Amino acid sequence: MAMTTEDADKLEVEVREKLGDTESWPHPVGFPDSLALCALNSVYSLRGTSAAGRNVMRRYRAHRQEQGANPDYDDGSDLLEAIDHVGGPERFASEVLRNRTKLSSTGRYKAEGLYEGVHALVQCGVNTAEDLRKATHEGRETLSREWLKTRGLGPASWDYLVMNAEIEDIKVDTMIRRFFERAIGNPSPRPESR
């Protein structure tokens, strides 16, 4: 279904009514220079609150700054080394992030999935956010399959990962589709599955 002018007008009214002036909107989340932050935000955004995700990011940043590093430029290897340095994913979850939440339906700490997912990317030659941007244009399916082999990391985590790396070729978030549907009063077109 194509969007009509009437649909666009309805959507604009709903956006202005519900979301207010665009000048008041927060900047989109993105970490174009840090694969570590992309991955952390991706994994800890899964079925979590915004506050919990912000706390994880704040604690990781503080930890890395205490080590004399700049987390805004941490690559995948930096994150893996930070996790190894404290004794592995479980201790990293407890001592650094102070967040022992589990991946859905697995009973595994999110930090375990984070470690395995990032390790898989690094093994594929993707160590930086720039590597991820290049690789997704060249071989997205292979790379996403490697990420998704980690038990508990589903397609939403991959979508968040590439979105955080500021890769624009991502599917529309479920919440955005629902907002669109409410605004125009009928279902929005569903993106094709990858």
H or E element in which residue 123 lies? helix 110-123
Residue 191 lies in a domain: no
Residue 72 lies in a domain: yes
Are 50 and 41 within 8 A, CB to CB?
no
Residue 67 lies in a domain: yes
* Distance (Å, whole) CA 156 – CA 9: 30
Summarize pLDDT for 111-154 with one digit per residue, the tens.
999 999 999 999 999 999 999 999 877 666 789 999 999 999 99
Residue 125 lies in a domain: yes
Neighbours of 169 (CB within 10 A): 9
Query: What pLDDT sits at residue 194?
Result: 38
Residue 19 lies in a domain: no
Look up the pTM and report it. Answer: 0.77
What is the total count of domains within the chain? 1
Return the SS3 of 133. Answer: helix
Bridge partners of 109?
Answer: 102
Residue 28 lies in a domain: no
What share of residues in the chain are helix, strand, coil (percent, to 5)? 65, 0, 35
Domain range enclosing 59? 35-164
Are 97 and 111 within 8 A, CB to CB?
yes
Single-letter residue type at 146 = E
**pLDDT per 10-residue tile (average), the chain, 194 residues:** 76 76 64 96 85 90 97 98 98 96 91 97 96 82 91 91 80 62 63 42
Supply the CATH number for residue 135's domain.
1.10.340
Residue 43 lies in a domain: yes
* Distance (Å, whole) CA 83 – CA 150: 17
Neighbours of 99 (CB within 10 A): 19
Residue 181 lies in a domain: no
